[in-house]
Amino acid sequence: MQSSTPAGDTQRGAGLLQTTRRSLLGSIGAAAGLGLASGDGRAQISGGIPGTGDVYFVTRNETPAAERGRGNGTGRGSGTYLVVDGSTGSVSLATDDTADVAFQHAFDQLGESGGTVVASAHTFEFGGPATVGDDTLVTGQRGTRLVASQTGSRDDPAPTERQENPLPTGHDLLRVRGDNVAVTDIEFDGAGTQLDNQAVQADGCDGLLVANTRTVNGFQMGISFTRCTNVTVRDNEVVDPNWYGITSRSAPAGGESDLRRSSDVVIAGNRVSGMKFNNIAPYNVSHFVVSGNVVFDGGHSLIACSPAQRGAIVGNVCRDLHEFAPDPGGEAGIEIEYKETHLRDAIAGTPAARSADITIAGNQVAGCPVGILSRTVPADSDETEARREQRPHGFTVTGNAVSGAADAGIRVRSGERGVVATNTLRDIGTAIDVADGYTAGLQMGLNATGP
């Protein structure tokens, strides 16, 4: 039977939470700078991190269920997951429900000025998403692991040869729905779920940081943000999501949040690998930078902006792309694209529907069918006029090193007013491939080719 103990029902003997308290404060207190435990393991009053607002700890009670409550004979506060008030050391919630209940309680306890929720170095098994509000830092320890659960199954519209429909569906772990939020130092585990979920999904936020996290074992998208401004996604590892790694799309595809525009975005220093579509996909994004990432083992172009405006893709390492259901012109290490199926009705036919003013510079691209690609993909492949009317424009491709591209080092299937210069192209059959009928105003020169 599930049980929970709310705030106020926390009187207990010293023995009740001694094991949990020591585990919690041993793993959290020193790292967070809190003096919350005395020598005998008793919580002390008025611990806190100056300037952080409210502080709550979420931990897991490792005491066997049969032994819980022996300190006072009541069993109060003996749930599997505990939420501890950092200012008093008292248990705000103890629950045998899934971990999302504990995290949601902690988020809801934060006052108007926000605060910090610290997760201990345990595995937390979620039954659904927890929603983060304004002015919140969610942080973990080495060993903090949030695990998703399966909610059902459905067919993936594009399974790989290794996948057999139906695929397991899941749920988001953390949904960010507030401004000025940071999520750091947590491992997110999809537990094999492949559709309708993300590790972190932010929507409608101003001020988002996702840093030093690890995403493994599934999810449709790893880290996603939609309708957001002032976004930083840095120093994360994303391994083997089903569709996208770090993206401004949303799951489920076609939902209310999917393909909504974001701006002022930094995606830097991440390691992203093993998916069927794009490793990093800033779709419908303006004023952005994708920098210093290591991306490999993807099925579509490893880094793709489709569409995007006024951005820079600089200093990334892209390698070993294995094509999955390629679009016309193949797939590339880095791609600038107009793609009609990536547009909502509100921006179709507006300047925001075309990729413009993109700088691609100083990247290393190796082992991809195409090194760098500019193209237009209309919904109707026979509608070739779109390749002239909706082509990317104003782009700059300079100072990149491309090697081992089987099809082309740099391919411009459609584009106008672009500069392709001072790139180094080695071990490539066709160094630069330009579709003359769908390009205009290109400037090219000083590109070096060789074995």
* Per-residue pLDDT reduced to its tens digit, 169-204: 999 999 999 999 999 999 999 999 999 999 999 999
Tell me the pLDDT tens digit for each residue of 220-272.
Answer: 999 999 999 999 999 999 999 999 999 999 999 989 999 999 999 999 999 99
**Percent of the chain whose pLDDT exceeds 90:** 79
The answer to which of 207-221, 346-360, 407-421 has the lowest mean pLDDT is 346-360
Q: What is the mean pLDDT of residues 373-390?
A: 89
Say whether pLDDT at 33 is over 50: no
Q: What does each C-alpha distance from 23 to 9, 37, 56 come to in angstroms?
A: 22, 11, 15
Report whether pLDDT(46) > 90.
no
pLDDT of residue 5: 45
Give the pLDDT score at 41. Answer: 36
**pTM of the prediction?**
0.89
Q: Tell me, what's the pLDDT at 357?
A: 98
pLDDT at 99: 98
pLDDT over 60 (residue 20) = no
Q: Is the pLDDT of residue 349 over 60?
A: yes
Q: Using 50, 70 and 90 to split pLDDT, how confident is the model at 209?
A: very high
pLDDT digits (tens, 9 = 90+) for 313-324: 999 999 999 999
Model pLDDT, residue 37: 39
Range 117-133 average pLDDT: 98
pLDDT higher than threshold 60 for residue 15: no
Residue with tokens 């709310």: 6
- Give the pLDDT of residue 71: 43
SS3 28: helix
pLDDT at 21 over 70: no
Q: What is the pLDDT of residue 69?
A: 60
**Mean pLDDT score, 393-415:** 97
| Triad 158, 367, 332: Cα angle to 5° | 50
